[in-house]
Amino acid sequence: MSLPDLGPKPLLGYTASILARVAERRSDTAFLAACEADKRAGTFAIGGELVVMKKGRNGADPLFRPDEARALAPTAEGVFLGLAGDAGRFGIALDPEATKALKGRSDLFVTDLRSIAVQGLVGPEHLAPLAEAKALLAWHARHRFCANCGVATNVSQAGWKRECPSCKVEHFPRTDPVVIMLAIDGDKCLLGRAGRFVANMWSCLAGFVEAAETIEDAVRREIFEESGIRCTDVNYYMTQPWPYPSSLMIGCTARATNEDIVVDRAELEDARWFDRDEVALMLQRRHPNGIAPPPPVAIAHHIIRAWVEDESPLGARAPVRAERARR
């Protein structure tokens, strides 16, 4: 069997952040003020799902001077993201409705982060910090009141904590773990299509990890629930922050132990087995029916490609790894 040449590996979106988060400086108000006053400081301006950018000669520039960003629209929380070298990077929440209105300004480019990532509208160094800003600001927008007693909470730690002035409970930004996985049976893999997907796109199955559940159990449960396929040998492959609003995608592979698919139509439009040659055509955008995997910005693309290129933990040539087999 010859492996297809799929060309150079694309970058996985929202990863490889250039920022040092310097969490130990988040309560150092003198440091933060100096950072913000420094000429090299940059702020990402986000209103709901929309990112505001400057139109530049070389494309879009998502960094504003902190005072410039505040002047764009009415603002809510501001956060400190970290340092790019010595330069501070901040995020600021703009009023979502006022942000929509900024689409009318000829000097600005306003669009959503998915479009920015898929179309490569900003330099790759900006994607991970933008994801950090979007996830953190979205958490603030949804967590302004104490979940314990209902009182309005105060931001502290440069945006990395909210504190309740009444019951004193501290609230921290949340990240929701999601398993996304490829079930593999020898030379074929299981892909599904959800109704919300763009036409002709097939992808890995995925679902939220539940309370007190291991990643391995979540992988097996989600595959079984959505497709009726039982799995063993769950292996971790890679992870990706997915700021919609605040997930961490945990990419895995698993070995299927039965073949008969029973699709959960509440979750999926369809699911079926694909052999390696067909998936290679999909990755090369040469499939006769025009079907394709998700774009390279998404982790599913990388999991699927790694299997086709025999690099996933369950690639055809890989030895069976030792996760305890389950019935």
Q: By CB under 5 A, name the binding residues for Zn ion.
A: 146, 148-149, 151, 164, 166-167, 169
- Of 286, 225, 232, 280, give the one whose Cα is nearest residue 258: 232
- Closest to Zn ion by CB, 145 vs 224, is 145
- Closest to Zn ion by CB, 146 vs 304, is 146
Q: How far is the CB of 79 from Zn ion (least distance, A)?
A: 21
Pairing outcome for strands 87-94 and 42-47? parallel
Q: How far is the CB of 185 from Zn ion (least distance, A)?
A: 51
Buried b (16+ CB within 10 A) or exposed e, 65-76: ebeebbebbebe
> 């007190």: which residue's tokens?
212
Is the distance from CB of 282 to CB of 293 less than 8 angstroms? Answer: yes
Q: Can you tell me the distance from the alpha carbon of 128 to that of 126, in angstroms, rounded to the nearest whole number?
A: 6
Q: How far is the CB of 204 from Zn ion (least distance, A)?
A: 40
Is the distance from CB of 80 to CB of 32 less than 8 angstroms? Answer: yes
Q: How far is the CB of 143 from Zn ion (least distance, A)?
A: 12
Q: How far is the CB of 170 from Zn ion (least distance, A)?
A: 10
Is the distance from CB of 21 to CB of 129 less than 8 angstroms? Answer: no
- Closest to Zn ion by CB, 6 vs 149, is 149
Is the distance from CB of 220 to CB of 237 less than 8 angstroms? Answer: no
- Closest to Zn ion by CB, 56 vs 165, is 165
Q: Can you tell me the distance from the alpha carbon of 264 to that of 116, in angstroms, rounded to the nearest whole number?
A: 32
Q: Can you tell me the distance from the alpha carbon of 62 to that of 45, in angstroms, rounded to the nearest whole number?
A: 8
Q: How far is the CB of 151 from Zn ion (least distance, A)?
A: 5
- Closest to Zn ion by CB, 166 vs 214, is 166
- Closest to Zn ion by CB, 124 vs 150, is 150
Q: How far is the CB of 153 from Zn ion (least distance, A)?
A: 7
Is the distance from CB of 252 to CB of 304 less than 8 angstroms? Answer: no
Note the residue count of the chain: 327
Q: Which one-letter amino acid corresponds to residue 116?
A: I
- Closest to Zn ion by CB, 149 vs 325, is 149
Q: Can you tell me the distance from the alpha carbon of 196 to that of 249, in angstroms, rounded to the nearest whole number?
A: 18
